[in-house]
Amino acid sequence: MPLLPSPPYRPAFPFRSGHLQTVYAARLRRAEGPAYRRERIDTPDGDFLDLDWTTVGASRVAVVSHGLEGNSGRTYVRGMARALNLAGWDVLAWNYRGCSGTPNRTLRLYHSGATDDLDTVLRHALSAGRYATAALVGFSLGGNLTLKYLGERGTGLDPRLRRAVAFSTPCDLAAASAEISKPHNWIYTRYFLTSLRDKVRQKAVQFPDHIDLTRLKHIRTLFDFDDAFTAPIHGFDGAADYYRRCSSKAFLDGIHIPTLLVNAADDSFLPAACYPVEEARNHAYLHLEIPDFGGHVGFVGRNGKETYWSEVRAAAFLGTV
């Protein structure tokens, strides 16, 4: 039954507000995360990726992908890493290009469809031969990467990759971009655009002949930013083309390993198009859960302090391998 019933997640007051869940989990949570061991690897195109490991000597590894303008240090990543360590998983939390605190070498940054970098990370994790089993966990943009990666490769995945979980995933990028630009989400748009503008300014110092900073004055929405910078830098014909080609919703039919998608009903970032009910209804591998609460990458535990529901849910789903 891939279309799962609403799970029995009911947080305590006041965390029945999606906005409060989103803000609290992102800005106020204090996750006593594990100590990371950093490793830098080269990419096939001459760039690098910074990976953060936390290991318990397990024979299985989970690769965790963060959200837009996030990194491995975000509390939702650290909380998940800690929970999976306790459940008997080694964890590799990777940082996208330009997200590890060090500017990357090339003009290219990261985007919602850059599954080649996820493939590089997974291949590296499995290359030493220590792991019999692997899993993927993705949040928001990282959830889209995860689902797109699985769907693109279909039956061609490494057989050691057995399960995946995606939380708060904008699987229809065009619809999600339009939703986050609505007035009730202005504070989130402002936060993301501030960070993205800074990143483009930094990139312009490295590549002054390729970045036109005068376009920044016209940026009001994420669509504007993607149209002016994300799309042309990464070879897309504008934001609409980028969204069309990189939305994981178009790749869901190709998923061939058990995969859990959890999008909360009160996630203000996600419009109806990001809840692929019909796609999941008769899907052999895609399991869709829509809890009533959770916000965007929230899923707060009781009193906001203990292990979050998303961490418990991911460990349980992955534990059935």
45 is catalytic: no
Considering 194, 218, 246, which residue would you say is the last residue of a domain? 246
In the set 111, 268, 296, 310, the catalytic residue is 296
Beta strands 90-95; 48-54: pairing state: antiparallel
* pLDDT of 4 strictly over 80: no
pLDDT at residue number 321: 58
Token representation of residue 53: 């490991």
- CB count in 10 Å sphere of residue 209: 7
Q: Please give the full DSSP string across 65-127, using - where no structure is assigned.
A: E--TT--TTSHHHHHHHHHHHHTT-EEEEEE-TT-SSS--SSS----TT-HHHHHHHHHHHHH
111 is catalytic: no
The answer to whether residues 133 and 79 belong to one domain is yes
In sequence order, the β-bridge partners of residue 172 are none
Structural domain of 101: 18-172+252-318
234 is catalytic: no
Separation CA 17–CA 94 (nearest Å):
30
3-state secondary structure 134-152: EEEEEECHHHHHHHHHHHH
User: Is 235 part of any domain?
Assistant: yes
pLDDT at residue number 1: 45
* Contact yes or no for 287/280 (Cβ under 8 A): yes
Where are the strands (E) in 23-160, listed by range?
37-42, 48-54, 60-65, 90-95, 133-139
* Contact yes or no for 295/20 (Cβ under 8 A): yes
Digit-coded pLDDT (tens) for 207-265 = 999 999 999 999 999 999 999 999 999 999 999 999 999 999 999 999 999 999 999 99
The answer to whether residues 302 and 261 belong to one domain is yes
In the set 226, 227, 266, 267, the catalytic residue is 267
Beta strands 48-54; 37-42: pairing state: antiparallel
Q: How many domains does the chain have?
A: 2
pLDDT at residue number 101: 94
Considering 193, 227, 246, which residue would you say is the last residue of a domain? 246
In the set 140, 247, 268, 310, the catalytic residue is 140
Digit-coded pLDDT (tens) for 146-170 = 999 999 999 999 999 999 999 999 9
User: Is 5 part of any domain?
Assistant: no
Lowest mean pLDDT among 4-8, 28-32, 201-205, 237-241: 4-8
Using alpha carbons only, give the angle 41, 196, 185 rounded to the nearest 5 degrees. Answer: 125
Digit-coded pLDDT (tens) for 105-157 = 999 999 999 999 999 999 999 998 999 999 999 999 999 999 999 999 999 99
User: Is 7 part of any domain?
Assistant: no
pTM above 0.85, yes or no: yes
For residue 2, say if its preceding peptide bond is cis, omega within 30 degrees of 0.
Answer: no
DSSP H or E segment with residue 288: strand 286-289
**How far apart are the two ends of the chain, measured CA to CA in Å?**
17
The answer to whether residues 55 and 142 belong to one domain is yes
pLDDT at residue number 269: 97
Of 300, 310, 317, the residue nearest 80 (C-alpha): 310
- CB count in 10 Å sphere of residue 110: 21
